[in-house]
Amino acid sequence: MKIIRAEYQNEQFYAILSGQTVIRLCREPYDGIEKEGREYDLSEVKLLPPAEPSKIVAVGKNYRAHADEMGEGQPEEPLLFLKPSTSIVGNNDDVVYPSISHRLDYEGELGVVIGKKCRAVQPGCSGDVIFGYTCLNDITARDIQKAVSQWTRGKGFDTFCPIGPHIETELDAMHAPIETRVNGEVRQHSTTDCMTHSVDKLVCYITECMTLLPGDIIATGTPEGIGPMQRGDIVEVEIGGIGVLRNRIV
């Protein structure tokens, strides 16, 4: 099932996307899917970011080949950092290249959307708290990131976390192809099989130390092939079974 957030005549709402039909829901989908009755053609609505997280918990160096290309080694345990909720933008939204940065990189990733308030999730039980999955681009001002020991500033700018185009509730998250393209040219191509730490491991590890809330997102790390973007570039992150997230750099 594909879940979207949409806007129609200044009203924002969650909906099911079935082909080109937008089926409006009564409320946020995390408490159960209940159709409201109204339907629209997809061309009539504006798509919004499909989740409204209180936080994005991101994982660094979770693909060995990416850790190798960075030349910094791979940590034994998941390397966590936070991106603010204000960094979220949606499909076809612009990503703003900060004037204080001289190297802006793409990082295509699988985003895990949490569906239940959870703490201390036990191994093998992450499926009980995951609502679905989406495409995510962990935009990084690489020069700013490398200038300090903490990553928040280099990864936390407004527009630095595009997600979308929707949430897919049915996905084999450990066997999904992932690809990033810049102006149509393939820059990253891998599968989620290559993650060092699985989605289940990440949910359990993160909830050992913090509570995750419905709509929160885990950015699961990027494969090898990261590189720079320029103003005017069109960047696409495609994950098999979900779709294509497309953004322009301005």
Fold of 2-48: SH3 type barrels. (2.30.30)
Given this model, what pLDDT does residue 76 score? 85
Do the beta carbons of residue 151 and residue 60 sit within 8 Å? yes
Cα–Cα distance list, 5 to 2, 112, 117, 124 (Å):
10, 16, 20, 30
- Of 65 and 8, more confident: 8
pLDDT at 74: 76
Dist. CA 127–CA 114, nearest whole Å? 10
Residues in the chain: 250
Q: CB count, 10 Å around CB of 149?
A: 6
Ranges of H-type helices in the chain:
64-70, 142-147, 152-155, 199-207
- Would you state the pLDDT for residue 232? 98
Beta bridge partners of 227: 106
pTM of the model: 0.95
pLDDT of res. 67: 65
pLDDT of residue 147: 87
Residue 75: per-residue pLDDT? 80
Look at residue 6 in the predicted model and tell me its pLDDT. 98
Q: Tell me the domain boundaries of the chain.
A: 2-48, 56-249
Residue-wise pLDDT tens digits, 122-133: 999 999 999 999
Rounded to the nearest angstrom, the gap between the alpha carbon of residue 125 and the centroid of all alpha carbons in its chain is 21
For a pLDDT cut of 70, what percent of the chain falls above it? Answer: 97
Q: Which of 28-42, 96-110, 143-157, 192-206 has the lowest mean pLDDT?
A: 143-157
Interval 67-101: pLDDT, tens: 677 666 678 899 999 999 999 999 999 999 999 99
Instruction: Give me the CATH topology for the region 56-249.
Output: Fumarylacetoacetate hydrolase; domain 2 (3.90.850)
- Predicted pLDDT of residue 71: 67
Residues 155-212 have pLDDT tens digits of 999 999 999 999 999 999 999 999 999 999 999 999 999 999 999 999 999 999 999 9
Q: Are strands 140-141 and 130-137 parallel, antiparallel or unpaired?
A: unpaired
pLDDT grade, residue 10 (50/70/90)?
very high
